[in-house]
Structure 1
Amino acid sequence: MSQIEQFGNSITMTSSEIAELTGKLHKHVIRDIRGMIDALEKDGPVLGHREVLDARGYTENFYLDRELTEVLILGYSVPLRLKVIRRLHELEQVVTCHAPAIIPQTLPDALRLAADLAEQNSSLQLVVAEQAPKVRALEVLTETAGAICITDAAKQVGMQPKALFQWLQENRWIYRRAGSSRWLAYQPRLQQGVLVHKLKVLGVDDESGQQRVAEQVLVTRKGLARLGEKLAGRVA
């Protein structure tokens, strides 16, 4: 059961609830939080967290504000991040629903409240605009988690890999740059979410010792469904 607290205008999440949502051991979440705080404190004091100790002096719980919670889960997998973010939204809705209504008693108070609400509305619109690319990036990451290579996609749709590569090229899903043997996805297909690029490690350079990487085209679950429709003749 979560305990809702607030740092300023931000709700908090406990380390124990983060552990429950992510399936991690609570002691491992506490370890991750300590590592995060130690890293952030190199640039100065870190606000937005509170540590609660038990009778023995051991950490019973950390309380993190929204910002620190989001920083912490950046190191977790996409599905786990999504669970925590959804829970943050739920907590925010609970706090909003229980917030006392402010009823202006005078005309100046009413005008001031109207001005404050208008300013908040403008700020929210700016936040939505700023967060839109991040939301889309999260969607792409989620799609990538279930994406498969074109060879495996060919098996799923009942085609020979060579035939599917040819179909994808002819229908402007993939292409090759001049002088390169590697396939790339057309930008519209990336925007549609039917294909994604994933970095693939090719090996280690003998001279520099650095990893050699290249982009590999993967078919998302959405792309696989789309291919099934097209190849079945249901979509023009």
Structure 2
Amino acid sequence: MSNIISLVEKSQLTMSSREIATLTHKRHDNVCRDIRAILVALLGGEDADYVRNSNLSYLTNQHVRCEQYDSKNPNAWEYHISRRYTEILITGYDIKRRTAVIDRLYQLEAEKKNVQPSLPTTKELALMVIKAEEEKEQLLIENKNLGHQVEEMRDDVDAFERIAKSDGSLNLTSTAKHLQQPPHKFNQLLNEKGWIYKRRGQRNWLGYQDKVKQGLLEHKVYITQDSSGSEKVCEQVLVTPKGLTKLSQMLSLH
């Protein structure tokens, strides 16, 4: 078994399954079995199934961890459980066993209160300073790289800002040219994305009303003559500066 289960924080009060076995005069394997039963009952789904079918679990849980107490014995593993899990565990034991465990908990708590926090050694302080300097240097490098990227993008940003503020609208062919897209494929893309459509029997593209309302498209009405010399009114869809900016963003994502 190569890993360690869940990590109860070292600062948290815990009791080991071996100590509980000693206090309650129970076999250690039986205490471990009882702890696993708690995990199965309190957890659900795959975690519970895994614990139920394994001698020791690998799941992460804030109340329990598993450690090998004898490195020479591959089977020498024990649980360390939080006070909460300890109290849940001994609920099922008789009064003498519960008393022995509770008294030990009080003793551990008293010892814990009297322990003064240890100050870092000179070596530990030096390592902390070195790590802080490395993180600072890495942050400076990342900020420098970000600055280069922003500078490289500045021309494109300025260009699109000028487009967005300009007054003129472009037809579909000119828009495709500005965005460096093949006109035919560009029109197909706009149609697929719900920007433009054609009426049945008509050749001209028209803009969907929602795009017109958003100021992305507009229609130009003009008069032309057919082959017989008769005049007819036609509509042409135009892409506004706002629509051009929006399309440039959409094509970048696309």
User: By the TM > 0.5 criterion, same fold?
Assistant: no
Higher strand share: 1
Q: Give the TM-score, by structure 2 length.
A: 0.34
